[in-house]
Structure formats: C-alpha cells, structure tokens
Amino acid sequence: MSRAERPPQTQILIENPSAGDGPALWRLARDGGGLDLNSPYTYLMWCRDFSATSVVARAGADTVGFITGYRRPDADDTLFVWQVAVDPAYRGQRIGVTMLMSIGDVMKRLGCQYMEATVTPDNEASAAMFASFARAHGAPLARSECFDSSLFPENHQPEDLIRIGPLYHGG
C-alpha cells in the first residue's frame, strides 16, 4: 500500500481489550501476515482472562492493533509479550511502539522488572520495536535461542528469546 492509500494519521487510543474484541484480534492476526494464527476462541479467552496485561489500539471505532501478554506464572517479575499485530494500513505510525510503551506502564504497576518475547530470526521489525523499547527505558536487551525449529510439529523457524530489563528501579 502506498503512502497515498494509507488512512490519514488519526488519534490512536490504547486501552485494555474486552472479550468483545476477540474477533477483531483474530482478524488482525489472520490478515496481518507473519503471526501464528490461533483459534478465534483463543482470542476471546485472551481478551477475557489476560485483559489487564494486553492492549488494543483503536482509530475511532476500528481496532487497528493489539498486544497480548501475560505475567509469567513461574517468574512474576516478568511480563511475556505473546503477539503484536498492527493493521497493515496503519503501519509506519509507531503504533506497535506506542502499545509496547503502554504495556511498560502495566509492567510498572504490576512490579514487573523484565519483558520477554520470542521472535523469529528474520523478524527485523519486531526486533527493532523491542530494541526501541529497551533504549527508551535505558534497559539492557539480551537475545538468545529459545525454541529450535525441530521442536515445532510443522515447518516453523526457530524462536529467539528477547529479554529486556531490569526496567524499573525503586517505587
């Protein structure tokens, strides 16, 4: 899509999702390209059960992006970012970074010191977004192997772990 075809920059509202956002998240994951698509039911449950650690981006009535995340059960100082999606028509407006900054605010409220995510080796856009977040917080970013491609039942690239932090010091 050329810049001329892109929607005009509009104010983007970032907020927590509700179960009613599940279908829009599923469509964004399906149509955005590059994400592993979960069942529609997964997105409904995610919006219900992990709303406090996830966000949606809205341009007016349209959901144009989302981040799903959760606090790791075995590491309550860590928030894991599961999926990040931005409608292709709205890319290039730093919506992903804005949503990630909002997740950073959630982390601070929860007392989380670390953010984790996995990315495939060729996903330069995601790697750049997480690096931007780390720089903005003056936090170190480490990248290491997490899941080798042989662990996946179908043809899938390996997933590298990105770990950012510690993020917040003091109250």
Q: What is the pLDDT along the chain (171 residues), one digit of tens a residue?
A: 444 455 556 799 999 999 999 999 999 999 987 788 899 999 999 999 999 999 999 999 999 999 999 999 999 999 999 999 999 999 889 899 999 999 999 999 999 999 999 999 988 989 999 999 999 999 999 999 988 888 888 888 889 999 999 997 654
71 DSSP β-pair partners = 79
Q: Supply the pTM of this predicted model.
A: 0.89
Class of the domain covering 3-164 = alpha beta
Q: Which two tokens stand for residue 105?
A: 């605010």
Task: Determine the Cα–Cα distance for residues 77 and 72; give it in Å rounded to an integer.
Answer: 8
Task: Determine the Cα–Cα distance for residues 95 and 14; give it in Å rounded to an integer.
Answer: 9
